[in-house]
Amino acid sequence: MTYSIKEVAQKTGLSIYTLRFYDQQGLLPFVQRNAAGYRAFTEGDLRLIHTICCLKNTGMKITDIRQYIDYVMAGTATIEQRRELLTAHRRKVVAKQHQIEVSLQEIDYKLATYSAPDAVAQISRKIEAALEDHQLPVKR
Name the residue nearer to DNA (CB basis): 17 or 114: 17
Neighbours of 83 (CB within 10 A): 11
Asked if 13 is part of the footprint of its own copies (rule: CB under 8 A), the reply reads no
CB of 53 to DNA, least distance (A): 10
Q: Which does 123 bind (CB under 5 to 8 A by kind): its own copies, DNA, none?
A: its own copies
Q: Rounded CA gap, 134 and 131, in Å?
A: 5
Which one among 21, 30, 67, 70 touches its own copies, defined by CB under 8 A? 30
Which one among 38, 63, 91, 118 touches its own copies, defined by CB under 8 A? 38
Are 52 and 69 within 8 A, CB to CB? yes
Q: Which does 98 bind (CB under 5 to 8 A by kind): DNA, its own copies, none?
A: none
Binding site for DNA (CB under 7 A): 4-7, 15-18, 20-21, 23, 34-39, 56, 61-63, 140
Which one among 74, 79, 88, 95 touches its own copies, defined by CB under 8 A? 79
CB of 105 to DNA, least distance (A): 21
Beta bridge partners of 3: 41
Q: How does DSSP classify residue 37?
A: S
48 to 67: interface string for its own copies, x by CB under 8 A: --xx-xxx-xxx--------
